[in-house]
A and B are shown apart, each in its own frame.
Chain A
Amino acid sequence: MQASDWTVYGQTLSSRLFIGTALYPSPQVMCDAIKASGAQVITVSLRRQSAGQANSGQQFWNMIEALGCHLLPNTAGCYSAAEAIKTAHMARELFETDWIKLEVLGDSFNLQPDPFALLEATKALIADGFKVFPYCTDDLVLCQKLADAGCEVLMPWGAPIGTGQGLLNPYALRTLRERLPGMTLLVDAGIGKPSDAVQAMELGYDGILLNTAVAEALEPALMAEAFKQSINAGRLAFEAGIMPKRDSAKPSTPTLDQPIWQQHG
């Protein structure tokens, strides 16, 4: 059974997994993994290429175009609002999409987003007609301000990029879900294994963006399939309604008319 469709900036999607195109051992492994994931949105980037490498960008383009996915270009590696804004405009021209995964980093050690520059860049890009997917921390007030700026999607981190640590602060992520009930929320970064994705989806997150956990698996296509199933399972569980935790036991087998009367303290 497939979880319900959802909408991202007016685009209806059935898969709730966004997947990256980096770090795979080969282009063919990348393509196989993306197909296995069932993802309909893939993240891409842009860089200068030396004159002798003019064809390599085209080869990559031909591969991702054949996948038929929506493209979500990123501003990876930008450390100021100005850099990110400039990169976003180049990405829009190159990939012919107004979607942008906005990354503005504030620290090179843990690649933590700079919340102040991120908000500044978000406002500028929305004014320029972009549909912004901000990669942000799980700070409630930052996320509220990004929503106020006009973002229809927020992508708080689960943990720093590439760490595979899972959801380091479930309380903060749960709070975001509760305080921004109408916002489309994806956990982006830090997901290491399918159970991390299930946890986020059971919290009511709308989707997951990941890359390293699949690309660096021993069998990327197999792991992509595992994430596909786990994200679907987590969403189905959320839609089904998860029972509340209790402090005391409650028998599941009826005790009425039990033939043996047991007395326990």
Chain B
Amino acid sequence: MQAESIQPIPLILNEQSVETTSTNLQVFLAEHGWTEGRFVVVINDNIVAKSAYPTYQLSAGDRIDVLSPISGG
């Protein structure tokens, strides 16, 4: 029996097209360098609470914005 291959899904991450096989948000974020620290995740214009990262499942076409603190006047 042949193992079922996982098909990558297309996403938009911070305005860039990406593909991933990691549909778990926390895993996806870690793959892109966001593990701990100050950032906020917005998916399809909805803020995702940090406590939901481990269980949040990404879907094809999701638009993900990761925002970080910067200087401001």
**What string of 1s and 0s marks CB contacts (under 8 Å) between A73-92 and chain B?**
11010000000001001100
A50 cross-chain contacts in B, Cβ below 8 A: 14, 16
Within 8 A of B (CB), among A1-39: 20-24, 30
How many residue pairs between the two chains, A and B, have CB atoms under 8 Å in the bound complex? 101
Report yes or no: A48 in contact with B73, Cβ–Cβ below 8 A: no
Supposing A61-B37, A90-B42, A94-B39 touch, asked if A47 and B67 sit within 8 A by C-beta, the answer is yes
- Of the listed residues A52, A54, A86, A89, the one surrounded by the most CB atoms of chain B closer than 10 A to its CB is A54
Partner of B33, one of A30, A54, A60, A74: A54
Supposing A49-B66, A93-B40 touch, asked if A74 and B72 sit within 8 A by C-beta, the answer is yes
The reply to whether the CB of B71 lies closer than 8 angstroms to some CB of chain A is yes
A20 cross-chain contacts in B, Cβ below 8 A: 71-73
The reply to whether the CB of A95 lies closer than 8 angstroms to some CB of chain B is yes
Q: Min CB distance, B26 to chain A, in Å? A: 14
The reply to whether the CB of A258 lies closer than 8 angstroms to some CB of chain B is no
**What string of 1s and 0s marks CB contacts (under 8 Å) between B52-71 and chain A?**
00000000000001111111
Q: Min CB distance, A131 to chain B, in Å? A: 17
CA gap between A30 and B70 in the complex, in Å: 13
Report yes or no: A94 in contact with B65, Cβ–Cβ below 8 A: no
What is the number of residues of chain A that contact chain B, defined by CB distance less than 8 Å? Answer: 37
CA gap between A83 and B68 in the complex, in Å: 17
The reply to whether the CB of A230 lies closer than 8 angstroms to some CB of chain B is no
**What string of 1s and 0s marks CB contacts (under 8 Å) between A147-172 and chain B?**
00000000000000100000000000
Report yes or no: B71 in contact with A44, Cβ–Cβ below 8 A: yes
B68 cross-chain contacts in A, Cβ below 8 A: 46-49, 53-54, 56-58, 60-61, 94
Report yes or no: A21 in contact with B33, Cβ–Cβ below 8 A: no
A64 cross-chain contacts in B, Cβ below 8 A: 69
A23 cross-chain contacts in B, Cβ below 8 A: 71, 73
A211 cross-chain contacts in B, Cβ below 8 A: 73
A46 cross-chain contacts in B, Cβ below 8 A: 40, 67-70
CA gap between A24 and B71 in the complex, in Å: 9
B69 cross-chain contacts in A, Cβ below 8 A: 44-46, 57, 60-61, 64, 94-95
Residue of B nearest to A162 (CB): B73
A residues at B contact (CB < 8 Å) = 20-24, 30, 43-58, 60-61, 64, 73-74, 76, 86, 89-90, 93-95, 161, 211-212
